[in-house]
Amino acid sequence: MSLANLGGSLLADDNLPGAESTGKQGKLFVYVGTFSSPLKDTLPTQVDLPPGNGIGIHVFELDRESGQGSFRGAFELGTSPSCLAVNRAGTIMYSANETDRVNPTKQPVDPVTGSKHGTVSSYRIDPQTGMLEQLNTVESGGAGPTYVALHPSEKYLFVANYFGGSVAVFPIRADGTLGEATDVQVDVGEIGPARAVHAPTGSFAFSGHDRTHAHQIASDPSGKYVLHVDLGLDKIFVWRFSEQTGKLSPCDPPYVALPPGDGPRHFHFHPNGKWLYSIQEEGSTMAVYDWDPQKGTLSHRQTLSTLPAGYAGSNFCSEVLVSHDGRYVYAGNRLHDSIGIFAVEQDGTLRYIGEEWTRGNYPRSFGFDSSGKLLLCCNQRADHVAVFRAEASTGRLNFTGNYLPVGNPSMVLFIER
């Protein structure tokens, strides 16, 4: 896979939020969430395919210069902690656990799917070793929790329940533990078609148009609004959020609709807070929106493919990530097994400049360290995390030759000490 027509973006603004490096030179810990098979026969769990090879949350220490990782241990869980979030101080972590069998005689059943609810957990992080101590676990408000995100105030945790087609809000206590949900919203509407409008020629990428599937939830930069995507409904929902009550209320309009069957999966705000980029799992597209932070509205600007021109066959998009300096946007392509690279133009629209092979298969997600120089890619079905170095001047991703061995990695995040 080539990286053609590379060129610098027109947005070289060193004052953008997140553009600066922290300057820290202490330890760099890497945490990898996984799909994890049961550790005991008495604890069965529902996981994504293939069956989970992870052993919970894996911890590595990464050398910044070489990109080489050293395994430091794992917090062993058989509940598939597939998505992680951490507070700004790096002291408390949260996980979405895609299990359906925890305390099976007491666990509530999702009224829509008939499946048992998943869970979310909180952990204390040891400042010296980086290891985790579990604080508490609560049920997630729906089946198959697949995404967690912190409110900017760090007083609430948002959860998207994929199999339950719902989103939930959890208060965070002073000690970092989670309280019972302050709000749960269940998605309703007409399910989109199995065939995506923008699917590549010959694609059989049919995944989430059997029912509602909430796939991501996160607040806007101000924290006044919360957005979430439902892949099965082909919609991005927009909510007003009350920090006083922990409740969500629909905006006007309450959502924007994407082309039928395209399947919005994840989104990411530009550092300037004015643009939002949404990636569509089955349509293999990136959609660009203007965001009005006063009204809480999205206005569509552009849609383009995440794949090179002429590609034919199946592909499932995964992650979308804006570089810290706001000059580039990266898109995950599963089956094509690449990270598409886009330059951000002055008006926020995107220009495709090429792609990089992920050195594995089925790249589920990827993330930058705080410097924006290292990008780690979770190749779910290759059982490893590949380490890349990003070129600020071109957006190019250069493979360091290093892998972190992890069974069915799902998400990566960084903590510096």
pLDDT of residue 251: 98
pTM of the predicted model as reported, rounded to 2 decimal places: 0.91
The share of the chain scoring above pLDDT 90, in percent, equals 82
pLDDT one-digit tens code per residue, 233-290 = 999 999 999 999 999 999 999 999 999 999 999 999 999 999 999 999 999 999 999 9
pLDDT over 60 (residue 11)? no
Q: Which has the higher per-residue pLDDT, 68 or 4?
A: 68
- What is the CA 397 to chain-centroid distance, rounded? 19
Strand-pair category, 350-357 with 28-34: unpaired
For 359-374, what is the mean pLDDT?
A: 97
pLDDT over 80 (residue 149)? yes
pLDDT of residue 1: 39
pLDDT over 90 (residue 224)? yes
pLDDT of residue 9: 36
Q: Which has the higher per-residue pLDDT, 16 or 217?
A: 217
pLDDT of residue 19: 34
Mean pLDDT over each residue of the chain, to the nearest integer: 90
For 70-94, what is the mean pLDDT?
A: 96
pLDDT of residue 22: 44
For residues 249 and 316, what is the distance between their CA atoms, to the nearest angstrom?
A: 32
| Integer-rounded Cα radius of gyration of the chain | 20
pLDDT of residue 52: 83
pLDDT over 60 (residue 103)? no
pLDDT of residue 207: 85
pLDDT one-digit tens code per residue, 375-393 = 999 999 999 999 999 999 9
Q: Which residues of 5-44 are buried (b: 16+ CB within 10 A; e: fewer)?
A: eeeebebeeeebeebeeeeeeebbbbbbbbbbbbeeeeee
Q: Which has the higher per-residue pLDDT, 312 or 24?
A: 312
pLDDT of residue 117: 85
- The SS3 assignment for 381 reads helix
Is residue 2 within 8 A of residue 354, CB to CB? The reply is yes
pLDDT one-digit tens code per residue, 294-329 = 999 999 999 999 999 999 999 999 999 999 999 999
For 157-170, what is the mean pLDDT?
A: 97
Alpha-carbon distance values, 414 to 125, 151, 346, 367, 391 (Å):
12, 18, 30, 8, 19
CA angle 153, 154, 156 (to 5 degrees): 100
pLDDT of residue 162: 95
Residue 165 — very low, low, confident or very high, per pLDDT cuts 50/70/90?
A: very high
For 27-34, what is the mean pLDDT?
A: 97
Instruction: Tell me phi and psi for residue 53, to 5 degrees.
Output: -105, -5
Choosing among 3.90.79.10, 3.40.710.10, 2.60.120.380, 2.130.10.10, the CATH entry for 187-357 is 2.130.10.10
Residue 43 — very low, low, confident or very high, per pLDDT cuts 50/70/90?
A: very low
User: CATH 2.130.10.10: which residues of the chain?
Assistant: 187-357
